[in-house]
């Protein structure tokens, strides 16, 4: 695979923007098609900002697994790998993605989603730099989760016994880190876009709720 010879690997989780399948809380106010459009443009914008083929390899982990052709056409990005997300919880999916890239030879891996417009290539590069001196890097989200997790070794315990989708995710993950004597560092706290009121008026017009 294209990333096998890269020391640093960025994993990006995306979901194909099918109306009714993404941003369901936004869809309740704006409708399924508008919510899907918002997610589609936001995800493409984030991936465009973090894609740095000269600095690290990138793997797009997509869902649902049968939409690979559609995901490739939607994103239109070459020089990345495309892999289907595994079955299970979001924790299972993340754990399996990390296990895969480390088994393929990565020395450091950073995983992000596509719900935080403030993420940039500098965010990812900072995470990789911190992984040179610490085991785990976390980017806390305002909602109690995290928008980025970076590892320099596969640590499945970090994805176990966590109530995904709640405001306890970050703290529970941090407890796992501390309990297992793993060194860690944090990035700035950023905001997920999960509700209409989360959409920043400073975003491009096509991403606004109005």
Domain range spanning residue 33? 8-191
How many distinct structural domains can be found in the chain?
A: 1
Let me know if residue 99 belongs to a domain.
Answer: yes
Q: 199 lies in a domain?
A: no
**Looking at the domain assignment, is residue 205 inside a domain?**
no
Residue 201 is assigned to a structural domain of this protein: no
Residue 181 lies in a domain: yes
Q: What is the reported pLDDT for 208? A: 44
User: Kind and range of the H or E element at 37?
Assistant: helix 32-50
Residue 26 maps to which CATH number? 3.90.550.10
User: Within 13 Å, how many C-alpha atoms sit on residue 3's CB side?
Assistant: 28
Question: pLDDT digit of tens for each residue in the chain (210 aa)?
Answer: 455 568 999 999 999 999 999 988 888 888 999 999 999 999 999 999 999 999 999 999 999 999 999 999 999 998 899 999 999 999 999 999 999 999 999 999 999 999 999 999 999 999 999 999 999 999 999 999 999 999 999 999 999 999 998 999 999 999 999 999 999 999 999 998 877 776 765 554 344 443
Residue 188's closest CA among 118, 125, 136?
118
Peptide bond into 143 cis (omega under 30): no
State both tokens at 103.
Answer: 């088994």
Overall pTM surpassing 0.95 (yes/no)? no
H or E stretch covering 82: strand 81-84
Asked if the structure places residue 175 within a domain, the reply is: yes
Paired strand residues for 141: 190
C-alpha span between 85 and 87 (Å, rounded): 7
In a domain, 196, yes or no: no
Q: What is the spatial distance between Cα 176 and Cα 155, in angstroms, rounded to a whole number? A: 10
Question: Burial level of 68, CB count in 10 A (0-12/13-18/19+)?
Answer: middle
- The answer to whether residues 203 and 156 touch, using CB atoms and an 8 Å cutoff, is no
The answer to whether residue 210 sits within a structural domain is no
Choose among 69, 62, 68, 66: nearest CA to 43: 62
Candidates 124, 76, 104; CA nearest to 3 is 104
């Amino acid at each position: 695979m294209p990333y096998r010879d890269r020391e640093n690997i960025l994993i990006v989780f995306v979901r194909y923007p099918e109306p009714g399948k993404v941003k369901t809380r936004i869809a309740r106010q704006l409708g399924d098609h508008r919510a899907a459009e918002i997610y589609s443009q936001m995800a493409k914008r984030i991936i465009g900002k973090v894609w740095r083929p000269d600095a690290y390899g990138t793997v797009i982990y997509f869902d649902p697994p049968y939409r690979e052709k559609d995901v490739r056409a939607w994103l239109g990005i070459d020089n990345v790998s495309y892999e289907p997300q595994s079955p299970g919880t979001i924790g299972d999916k993340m754990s399996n993605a990390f296990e895969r890239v480390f088994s393929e030879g990565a020395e450091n891996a950073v995983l992000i989603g596509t719900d935080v417009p403030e993420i940039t290539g500098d965010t990812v590069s900072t995470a990789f730099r911190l992984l040179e001196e610490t085991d785990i890097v976390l980017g806390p989200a305002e909602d109690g989760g995290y928008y980025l997790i970076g590892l320099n070794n596969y640590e499945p315990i970090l994805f176990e016994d966590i109530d995904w989708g709640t405001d306890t995710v970050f703290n529970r993950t941090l407890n796992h880190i501390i309990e297992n004597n793993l060194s860690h560092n944090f990035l700035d706290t950023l905001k997920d876009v999960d509700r209409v009121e989360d959409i920043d008026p400073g975003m491009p017009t096509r991403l606004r709720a109005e």
